[in-house]
Structure 1
Amino acid sequence: MLFNRHKTSLVPADQALPGRQAPGFALTEPHTVLGHPLTGPYPEGLEVADFGLGCFWGAERTFWRLPGVWTTLVGYQGGHTPNPTYEEVCSGLTGHTEAVRVVFDPAVISYERLLKTFWEAHDPTQGNRQGNDVGTQYRSALYTHSPAQAAAADASREAYQKVLTASGHKEITTEILPAEGRPFWPAEAYHQQYLDKNPGGYCGIGGTGVSCPIGVAPAEG
Protein backbone atom coordinates (compact mmCIF):
# COMPACT_ATOMS: atom_id res chain seq x y z
CA MET A 1 0.00 0.00 0.00
CA LEU A 2 1.45 3.38 -0.99
CA PHE A 3 0.55 5.44 2.05
CA ASN A 4 1.68 3.15 4.85
CA ARG A 5 1.66 5.35 7.96
CA HIS A 6 3.81 2.95 9.97
CA LYS A 7 6.98 2.70 7.90
CA THR A 8 9.87 2.26 10.34
CA SER A 9 12.87 2.04 8.01
CA LEU A 10 14.20 4.92 5.94
CA VAL A 11 13.55 4.71 2.22
CA PRO A 12 16.67 4.73 -0.02
CA ALA A 13 17.04 7.76 -2.27
CA ASP A 14 16.55 5.70 -5.43
CA GLN A 15 13.20 4.43 -4.12
CA ALA A 16 11.84 7.78 -2.89
CA LEU A 17 8.88 9.53 -4.48
CA PRO A 18 9.87 12.01 -7.23
CA GLY A 19 8.17 15.09 -5.79
CA ARG A 20 7.78 18.28 -7.79
CA GLN A 21 9.71 21.40 -8.80
CA ALA A 22 7.51 23.87 -6.93
CA PRO A 23 5.08 23.68 -4.01
CA GLY A 24 1.39 23.75 -4.75
CA PHE A 25 0.72 26.49 -2.20
CA ALA A 26 2.15 29.72 -0.76
CA LEU A 27 2.47 30.73 2.90
CA THR A 28 1.25 34.33 2.82
CA GLU A 29 -0.30 34.74 6.27
CA PRO A 30 1.83 35.78 9.27
CA HIS A 31 2.40 33.66 12.35
CA THR A 32 -0.93 33.50 14.17
CA VAL A 33 0.72 33.92 17.60
CA LEU A 34 3.89 35.94 17.02
CA GLY A 35 2.62 38.05 14.11
CA HIS A 36 5.80 37.79 12.02
CA PRO A 37 6.28 36.29 8.55
CA LEU A 38 6.81 32.55 8.43
CA THR A 39 9.37 32.48 5.65
CA GLY A 40 12.50 34.55 5.01
CA PRO A 41 14.41 36.60 4.42
CA TYR A 42 14.44 37.31 8.15
CA PRO A 43 15.68 40.47 9.90
CA GLU A 44 19.41 40.88 10.34
CA GLY A 45 20.79 39.44 13.57
CA LEU A 46 18.34 36.56 13.84
CA GLU A 47 19.43 32.93 13.58
CA VAL A 48 17.72 29.78 12.34
CA ALA A 49 17.57 26.36 14.02
CA ASP A 50 15.80 23.20 12.83
CA PHE A 51 14.40 20.49 15.12
CA GLY A 52 12.59 17.19 14.59
CA LEU A 53 10.88 15.81 17.70
CA GLY A 54 7.76 13.98 16.63
CA CYS A 55 4.42 15.41 15.53
CA PHE A 56 5.19 18.97 14.48
CA TRP A 57 1.92 20.43 15.77
CA GLY A 58 2.88 20.15 19.42
CA ALA A 59 6.57 20.64 18.74
CA GLU A 60 5.98 24.03 17.12
CA ARG A 61 3.89 25.25 20.07
CA THR A 62 6.67 24.26 22.45
CA PHE A 63 9.07 26.63 20.71
CA TRP A 64 6.80 29.60 19.92
CA ARG A 65 6.18 29.98 23.66
CA LEU A 66 9.85 30.72 24.38
CA PRO A 67 10.98 34.35 24.80
CA GLY A 68 13.35 35.40 22.04
CA VAL A 69 11.72 33.22 19.36
CA TRP A 70 10.76 35.51 16.46
CA THR A 71 8.82 33.04 14.33
CA THR A 72 8.32 29.33 13.82
CA LEU A 73 7.07 27.21 10.98
CA VAL A 74 6.62 23.51 10.42
CA GLY A 75 7.82 21.46 7.50
CA TYR A 76 9.63 18.40 6.25
CA GLN A 77 13.39 17.83 6.36
CA GLY A 78 16.09 15.21 6.05
CA GLY A 79 14.56 13.32 3.13
CA HIS A 80 14.89 12.95 -0.62
CA THR A 81 11.63 14.15 -2.23
CA PRO A 82 11.49 17.84 -3.26
CA ASN A 83 8.38 19.79 -2.22
CA PRO A 84 6.65 16.79 -0.62
CA THR A 85 3.04 16.80 0.49
CA TYR A 86 1.92 15.74 3.94
CA GLU A 87 0.38 12.57 2.53
CA GLU A 88 3.64 11.69 0.79
CA VAL A 89 5.65 12.21 3.96
CA CYS A 90 3.17 10.05 5.89
CA SER A 91 3.75 7.26 3.38
CA GLY A 92 7.35 6.93 4.52
CA LEU A 93 8.42 7.14 0.89
CA THR A 94 10.06 10.58 1.01
CA GLY A 95 12.55 10.02 3.85
CA HIS A 96 11.59 13.23 5.65
CA THR A 97 10.92 13.81 9.30
CA GLU A 98 8.41 16.35 10.58
CA ALA A 99 10.45 19.39 11.59
CA VAL A 100 10.11 22.81 13.17
CA ARG A 101 12.13 25.79 11.97
CA VAL A 102 12.80 28.22 14.81
CA VAL A 103 13.94 31.76 14.02
CA PHE A 104 15.35 33.33 17.15
CA ASP A 105 17.21 36.32 18.54
CA PRO A 106 20.50 35.04 20.04
CA ALA A 107 20.73 38.19 22.18
CA VAL A 108 17.60 37.01 24.02
CA ILE A 109 17.73 33.21 23.87
CA SER A 110 20.72 30.99 23.16
CA TYR A 111 20.85 28.00 20.85
CA GLU A 112 21.81 25.96 23.90
CA ARG A 113 18.55 26.96 25.58
CA LEU A 114 16.66 25.81 22.49
CA LEU A 115 18.54 22.52 22.66
CA LYS A 116 17.50 22.07 26.28
CA THR A 117 13.88 22.56 25.26
CA PHE A 118 14.31 20.12 22.38
CA TRP A 119 15.73 17.32 24.51
CA GLU A 120 13.22 17.73 27.33
CA ALA A 121 10.13 18.01 25.10
CA HIS A 122 10.36 14.50 23.61
CA ASP A 123 11.91 11.08 24.11
CA PRO A 124 15.01 10.96 21.87
CA THR A 125 15.59 7.25 22.51
CA GLN A 126 12.59 5.88 20.61
CA GLY A 127 13.95 5.70 17.07
CA ASN A 128 11.31 6.04 14.38
CA ARG A 129 8.46 6.92 16.70
CA GLN A 130 7.24 9.21 19.44
CA GLY A 131 4.78 7.50 21.75
CA ASN A 132 1.83 6.28 19.68
CA ASP A 133 3.10 8.06 16.57
CA VAL A 134 5.03 5.44 14.61
CA GLY A 135 7.04 5.95 11.44
CA THR A 136 10.20 7.52 10.06
CA GLN A 137 8.49 10.92 9.90
CA TYR A 138 8.55 11.05 13.70
CA ARG A 139 12.26 10.39 14.20
CA SER A 140 14.30 12.72 16.38
CA ALA A 141 16.66 15.03 14.47
CA LEU A 142 18.81 18.15 14.73
CA TYR A 143 19.83 19.90 11.50
CA THR A 144 22.53 22.45 12.23
CA HIS A 145 23.25 25.73 10.44
CA SER A 146 26.82 26.42 11.55
CA PRO A 147 29.87 24.72 13.06
CA ALA A 148 28.96 26.34 16.38
CA GLN A 149 25.48 24.81 16.28
CA ALA A 150 26.93 21.43 15.35
CA ALA A 151 29.38 21.52 18.26
CA ALA A 152 26.67 22.60 20.69
CA ALA A 153 24.29 19.89 19.43
CA ASP A 154 26.93 17.17 19.83
CA ALA A 155 27.90 18.38 23.29
CA SER A 156 24.27 18.52 24.40
CA ARG A 157 23.62 14.99 23.18
CA GLU A 158 26.60 13.73 25.16
CA ALA A 159 25.52 15.59 28.30
CA TYR A 160 21.93 14.42 28.04
CA GLN A 161 22.93 10.82 27.37
CA LYS A 162 24.78 10.75 30.68
CA VAL A 163 21.75 11.76 32.71
CA LEU A 164 19.42 9.55 30.67
CA THR A 165 21.67 6.53 31.24
CA ALA A 166 21.82 7.28 34.95
CA SER A 167 18.01 7.34 34.95
CA GLY A 168 17.73 3.96 33.22
CA HIS A 169 16.92 5.14 29.71
CA LYS A 170 18.24 3.75 26.43
CA GLU A 171 20.66 5.27 23.92
CA ILE A 172 19.73 8.48 22.11
CA THR A 173 18.83 7.85 18.46
CA THR A 174 18.71 11.51 17.37
CA GLU A 175 20.38 12.20 14.03
CA ILE A 176 22.56 15.32 14.07
CA LEU A 177 23.41 16.48 10.56
CA PRO A 178 24.17 19.74 8.72
CA ALA A 179 21.10 21.52 7.36
CA GLU A 180 23.11 22.26 4.21
CA GLY A 181 22.05 19.79 1.56
CA ARG A 182 18.94 18.88 3.54
CA PRO A 183 16.34 21.46 2.49
CA PHE A 184 13.52 22.44 4.80
CA TRP A 185 10.28 22.17 2.83
CA PRO A 186 7.46 24.16 4.51
CA ALA A 187 4.31 22.20 5.28
CA GLU A 188 0.88 23.17 4.02
CA ALA A 189 -0.78 26.26 5.52
CA TYR A 190 -3.26 24.31 7.64
CA HIS A 191 -0.38 22.71 9.57
CA GLN A 192 1.16 26.07 10.51
CA GLN A 193 0.39 26.99 14.16
CA TYR A 194 -2.14 24.16 14.12
CA LEU A 195 -2.64 24.10 17.88
CA ASP A 196 -3.31 27.83 17.99
CA LYS A 197 -5.99 27.43 15.33
CA ASN A 198 -7.27 24.22 16.99
CA PRO A 199 -6.60 24.58 20.75
CA GLY A 200 -8.08 21.17 21.51
CA GLY A 201 -6.09 19.45 18.77
CA TYR A 202 -3.85 16.44 19.08
CA CYS A 203 -0.36 16.77 20.57
CA GLY A 204 1.56 13.52 20.66
CA ILE A 205 4.93 14.63 22.02
CA GLY A 206 6.07 14.02 25.56
CA GLY A 207 9.43 14.00 27.32
CA THR A 208 11.26 11.51 29.49
CA GLY A 209 10.91 13.61 32.64
CA VAL A 210 14.71 13.86 32.83
CA SER A 211 16.14 17.38 32.94
CA CYS A 212 18.81 18.26 30.40
CA PRO A 213 21.87 19.85 32.11
CA ILE A 214 22.58 22.46 29.42
CA GLY A 215 21.22 25.80 28.29
CA VAL A 216 20.47 27.11 31.77
CA ALA A 217 22.73 30.15 31.63
CA PRO A 218 21.31 33.39 30.17
CA ALA A 219 22.39 34.33 26.68
CA GLU A 220 25.01 37.04 26.41
CA GLY A 221 23.93 40.19 24.73
Structure 2
Amino acid sequence: MAESPRWLLLRGREPEALQALTHFKPKNTPDEDIRAEFDVLSLKVSEQLQKKSFSDLFTKTNRLRTFVVVLSNFFQQATGQAFASQYGTLFVKQLMSIDPFSVNLGTNAVDIGAIIILACLIVVIGRSSIVQMGSLMTMGGLGTAEAGNVAAKQGIIAMLMIFSFSWSLGWAPLTYVIGAELPSSPLREMTLQIAYFVKLVTEYVMT
Protein backbone atom coordinates (compact mmCIF):
# COMPACT_ATOMS: atom_id res chain seq x y z
CA MET A 1 0.00 0.00 0.00
CA ALA A 2 1.35 3.43 -0.96
CA GLU A 3 2.08 5.97 1.75
CA SER A 4 -0.01 9.11 2.09
CA PRO A 5 1.28 11.95 -0.14
CA ARG A 6 0.90 14.35 2.78
CA TRP A 7 2.94 12.10 5.07
CA LEU A 8 5.71 11.89 2.48
CA LEU A 9 5.73 15.67 1.97
CA LEU A 10 6.03 16.21 5.72
CA ARG A 11 9.26 14.21 5.53
CA GLY A 12 10.64 16.03 2.50
CA ARG A 13 10.15 13.12 0.09
CA GLU A 14 8.56 15.09 -2.75
CA PRO A 15 9.19 12.69 -5.68
CA GLU A 16 7.67 9.82 -3.72
CA ALA A 17 4.75 12.04 -2.68
CA LEU A 18 3.99 12.91 -6.30
CA GLN A 19 4.22 9.24 -7.23
CA ALA A 20 1.85 8.31 -4.38
CA LEU A 21 -0.67 10.96 -5.41
CA THR A 22 -0.55 9.67 -8.98
CA HIS A 23 -1.11 6.15 -7.67
CA PHE A 24 -4.33 7.18 -5.92
CA LYS A 25 -5.75 8.94 -8.98
CA PRO A 26 -7.67 7.28 -11.84
CA LYS A 27 -5.37 6.21 -14.65
CA ASN A 28 -6.92 8.64 -17.13
CA THR A 29 -6.31 11.71 -14.92
CA PRO A 30 -4.29 14.33 -16.87
CA ASP A 31 -0.77 14.92 -15.56
CA GLU A 32 -1.38 18.67 -15.29
CA ASP A 33 -4.36 18.08 -12.97
CA ILE A 34 -2.28 15.84 -10.73
CA ARG A 35 0.53 18.38 -10.70
CA ALA A 36 -1.86 21.22 -9.82
CA GLU A 37 -3.29 19.24 -6.91
CA PHE A 38 0.21 18.30 -5.81
CA ASP A 39 1.27 21.96 -5.78
CA VAL A 40 -1.72 22.88 -3.61
CA LEU A 41 -0.97 20.02 -1.23
CA SER A 42 2.69 21.02 -1.06
CA LEU A 43 1.72 24.59 -0.17
CA LYS A 44 -0.54 23.41 2.65
CA VAL A 45 2.15 21.12 4.01
CA SER A 46 4.73 23.90 3.90
CA GLU A 47 2.34 26.10 5.90
CA GLN A 48 1.88 23.31 8.40
CA LEU A 49 5.64 22.97 8.84
CA GLN A 50 5.92 26.58 9.94
CA LYS A 51 6.79 26.80 13.62
CA LYS A 52 3.76 27.77 15.68
CA SER A 53 3.33 28.19 19.41
CA PHE A 54 0.45 27.28 21.69
CA SER A 55 -0.46 30.95 22.06
CA ASP A 56 -1.16 31.16 18.31
CA LEU A 57 -4.32 29.13 18.93
CA PHE A 58 -5.81 32.10 20.75
CA THR A 59 -4.86 34.97 18.49
CA LYS A 60 -7.64 37.11 17.07
CA THR A 61 -7.51 35.14 13.82
CA ASN A 62 -7.58 31.65 15.32
CA ARG A 63 -9.32 31.73 18.70
CA LEU A 64 -12.85 31.36 17.32
CA ARG A 65 -11.75 28.38 15.25
CA THR A 66 -10.10 26.84 18.31
CA PHE A 67 -13.15 27.34 20.52
CA VAL A 68 -15.56 25.91 17.94
CA VAL A 69 -13.49 22.75 17.46
CA VAL A 70 -12.97 22.26 21.20
CA LEU A 71 -16.61 22.94 22.07
CA SER A 72 -17.87 20.60 19.36
CA ASN A 73 -15.80 17.79 20.90
CA PHE A 74 -17.05 18.72 24.36
CA PHE A 75 -20.71 18.70 23.37
CA GLN A 76 -20.29 15.49 21.41
CA GLN A 77 -19.60 13.71 24.70
CA ALA A 78 -21.72 15.97 26.91
CA THR A 79 -24.77 14.50 25.17
CA GLY A 80 -24.21 11.38 27.27
CA GLN A 81 -23.66 9.12 24.28
CA ALA A 82 -20.91 7.24 26.12
CA PHE A 83 -23.49 5.95 28.60
CA ALA A 84 -25.97 5.10 25.87
CA SER A 85 -23.42 3.24 23.76
CA GLN A 86 -21.49 1.48 26.53
CA TYR A 87 -24.21 0.79 29.07
CA GLY A 88 -27.34 0.98 26.95
CA THR A 89 -27.81 -2.78 26.81
CA LEU A 90 -27.54 -3.11 30.61
CA PHE A 91 -29.93 -0.20 31.03
CA VAL A 92 -32.51 -1.83 28.74
CA LYS A 93 -32.06 -5.16 30.54
CA GLN A 94 -32.90 -3.53 33.87
CA LEU A 95 -36.14 -2.19 32.43
CA MET A 96 -37.28 -5.80 31.82
CA SER A 97 -39.49 -4.78 28.94
CA ILE A 98 -37.90 -5.52 25.55
CA ASP A 99 -35.13 -7.97 24.66
CA PRO A 100 -31.84 -6.01 25.06
CA PHE A 101 -30.21 -7.83 22.15
CA SER A 102 -33.02 -6.78 19.82
CA VAL A 103 -32.72 -3.20 21.02
CA ASN A 104 -28.99 -3.29 20.39
CA LEU A 105 -29.54 -4.52 16.83
CA GLY A 106 -32.20 -1.87 16.29
CA THR A 107 -29.91 0.87 17.58
CA ASN A 108 -27.14 -0.22 15.22
CA ALA A 109 -29.59 -0.22 12.33
CA VAL A 110 -30.84 3.31 13.02
CA ASP A 111 -27.23 4.50 13.40
CA ILE A 112 -26.40 3.17 9.94
CA GLY A 113 -29.55 4.79 8.57
CA ALA A 114 -28.61 8.12 10.13
CA ILE A 115 -25.16 8.07 8.56
CA ILE A 116 -26.63 7.26 5.13
CA ILE A 117 -29.10 10.14 5.49
CA LEU A 118 -26.28 12.45 6.57
CA ALA A 119 -24.22 11.52 3.51
CA CYS A 120 -27.17 12.47 1.29
CA LEU A 121 -28.08 15.71 3.06
CA ILE A 122 -24.77 17.28 4.09
CA VAL A 123 -24.05 18.80 0.69
CA VAL A 124 -27.63 19.99 0.27
CA ILE A 125 -28.39 21.68 3.60
CA GLY A 126 -24.92 22.09 5.12
CA ARG A 127 -23.22 21.07 8.33
CA SER A 128 -24.64 23.71 10.66
CA SER A 129 -28.27 22.87 9.96
CA ILE A 130 -27.68 19.16 10.44
CA VAL A 131 -25.87 19.69 13.76
CA GLN A 132 -28.70 21.92 15.01
CA MET A 133 -31.34 19.43 13.92
CA GLY A 134 -29.47 16.55 15.51
CA SER A 135 -28.98 18.54 18.72
CA LEU A 136 -32.69 19.27 19.08
CA MET A 137 -33.54 15.61 18.56
CA THR A 138 -30.82 14.50 20.98
CA MET A 139 -32.29 16.63 23.77
CA GLY A 140 -35.55 14.65 23.72
CA GLY A 141 -36.22 12.31 26.66
CA LEU A 142 -38.90 10.81 28.86
CA GLY A 143 -37.18 10.65 32.25
CA THR A 144 -37.75 7.76 34.65
CA ALA A 145 -40.70 5.42 34.88
CA GLU A 146 -42.44 3.56 37.67
CA ALA A 147 -41.63 -0.13 38.00
CA GLY A 148 -44.97 -1.32 36.67
CA ASN A 149 -45.37 1.19 33.85
CA VAL A 150 -44.58 -0.96 30.81
CA ALA A 151 -45.68 1.66 28.28
CA ALA A 152 -43.35 4.25 29.78
CA LYS A 153 -40.46 1.76 29.71
CA GLN A 154 -41.11 1.08 26.04
CA GLY A 155 -41.22 4.82 25.47
CA ILE A 156 -37.83 5.22 27.13
CA ILE A 157 -36.38 2.55 24.85
CA ALA A 158 -37.88 4.31 21.83
CA MET A 159 -36.34 7.60 22.93
CA LEU A 160 -33.01 5.84 23.44
CA MET A 161 -33.09 4.77 19.80
CA ILE A 162 -34.13 8.27 18.68
CA PHE A 163 -31.24 9.65 20.71
CA SER A 164 -28.82 7.25 19.02
CA PHE A 165 -30.20 8.15 15.59
CA SER A 166 -29.91 11.89 16.15
CA TRP A 167 -26.41 11.59 17.61
CA SER A 168 -25.25 9.57 14.60
CA LEU A 169 -26.92 12.10 12.31
CA GLY A 170 -25.17 15.14 13.75
CA TRP A 171 -22.59 15.18 16.51
CA ALA A 172 -20.98 11.80 15.89
CA PRO A 173 -19.54 12.35 12.40
CA LEU A 174 -19.64 16.13 12.01
CA THR A 175 -17.43 16.81 15.03
CA TYR A 176 -14.56 15.22 13.10
CA VAL A 177 -15.47 17.10 9.92
CA ILE A 178 -15.33 20.38 11.85
CA GLY A 179 -11.99 19.41 13.36
CA ALA A 180 -10.55 18.63 9.95
CA GLU A 181 -11.86 21.68 8.10
CA LEU A 182 -11.91 24.58 10.53
CA PRO A 183 -8.39 24.98 12.02
CA SER A 184 -5.69 26.60 9.93
CA SER A 185 -3.19 24.11 8.51
CA PRO A 186 -0.22 25.06 10.74
CA LEU A 187 -2.35 24.79 13.89
CA ARG A 188 -4.53 21.81 13.04
CA GLU A 189 -2.58 19.24 15.04
CA MET A 190 -2.37 21.39 18.17
CA THR A 191 -6.05 22.28 17.90
CA LEU A 192 -7.05 18.63 17.63
CA GLN A 193 -4.79 17.61 20.50
CA ILE A 194 -6.60 20.03 22.81
CA ALA A 195 -10.01 19.12 21.41
CA TYR A 196 -9.49 15.38 21.83
CA PHE A 197 -8.17 15.88 25.35
CA VAL A 198 -11.35 17.77 26.23
CA LYS A 199 -13.38 15.06 24.54
CA LEU A 200 -11.76 12.24 26.53
CA VAL A 201 -12.09 14.08 29.84
CA THR A 202 -15.76 14.82 29.14
CA GLU A 203 -16.41 11.20 28.16
CA TYR A 204 -14.79 10.02 31.40
CA VAL A 205 -16.85 12.42 33.50
CA MET A 206 -20.11 11.50 31.75
CA THR A 207 -19.61 7.77 32.34
TM-score by length of 2: 0.23
Q: Which has the larger share of helix?
A: 2
Instruction: Return the index of the structure with the highest Cα Rg.
Output: 2
Q: Which has the larger share of strand?
A: 1
